[in-house]
Amino acid sequence: MLKGAYGDVMPYADPHTAAPALWAFRDRDACEFECSAALFGGDHRDRLAHECVEISRHREQFQASPAVNFGGMPDGYLKSSGNNQKLVDAGKRFRGGRDPYRRLVPSIAPTGSLQGTPESAEWMGLQWSRWRSWDHDFGSGSMGIYRLRKVGGSVPVYVGQGRLVDRIRAHVKKGSIEGHAQQLAFSWQLEASVVELPLLKMRNLLEIENDLIASFTITHGEPPDAQFLG
């Protein structure tokens, strides 16, 4: 999936999102790469959850994400788009390459300890809103992070990031889609708690989301019930 990093032109971000950045590092530094791996016996959700844990442990140690995670690119390069029929039909598929005016979105350090409590109003050092019905007008379209739980429950069933109202409504809608992998988790009456972060870039929101999933997994031994189900 990463062989495009050794091509003559920057590969698309499919089938591997890291390939464009690795291509850019090779183009800039004439470097080579090496790999280390570990066998893991869990299922798909377990592997993704523990990937979050390992990334967040790296972030705790170095106070930043690995350079290529969360869409990271070296300065001076524009990342290629994905490569699917929808992008082709919309005329939005493109190959990236050198762009002297493009600057990397800096990584941010973890906002708090991974050992925090996912039910807390100060989880991961953030100031979470009080729990409200999912259809509350959170932040009037503001960007941020959110957690969802069943009304009357205590443990979040999902954490995410994005435009708060839109993302929360999209998840609740899945509860009425017959056969959807997240139908059961989102078919209950839900409530949400959010942190508005309108000034953060998408890369930074993704970093915080990763840390939240990692913290939950460390505390409960598994990801939130609806996480990584599609």
Give domain status of residue 7, yes or no: yes
Cα–Cα–Cα angle for 116, 117, 120, rounded to 5 degrees: 115
Give domain status of residue 172, yes or no: yes
Same domain, 94 and 12: yes
Same domain, 132 and 178: yes
Same domain, 92 and 24: yes
Q: What are the structure tokens assigned to 176, written together?
A: 């009425």
Q: Comparing C-alpha atoms, which of 106, 46, 48 is closest to residue 75? A: 106
Same domain, 89 and 20: yes
Same domain, 86 and 127: no
Give domain status of residue 65, yes or no: no
Helix H or strand E encompassing 44: helix 44-62
| Residue 135 vs residues 11, 172, 225: alpha-carbon distances, Å | 41, 9, 21
As a whole number of angstroms, the distance between CA 169 and CA 17 comes to 27
Edge-to-edge strands, sheet with 190-196: 132-133, 190-196, 143-150, 158-163
Q: Output the CA torsion sign for 199, 209, 173, 133.
A: negative
Say what the pTM is.
Answer: 0.93
List the CATH number of the domain containing 142: 3.40.1440
Same domain, 85 and 13: yes
pLDDT in tens, the chain (230 residues): 999 999 999 999 999 999 999 999 999 999 999 999 999 888 999 999 999 999 999 999 999 999 999 999 999 999 999 999 999 999 999 999 999 999 999 999 999 999 989 999 999 999 999 999 998 988 777 999 999 999 988 899 999 999 999 999 999 888 888 888 888 888 889 999 999 999 999 999 999 999 999 999 999 999 999 999 87
Residue 146, domain extent: 123-220
Quote the number of domains for the chain: 2
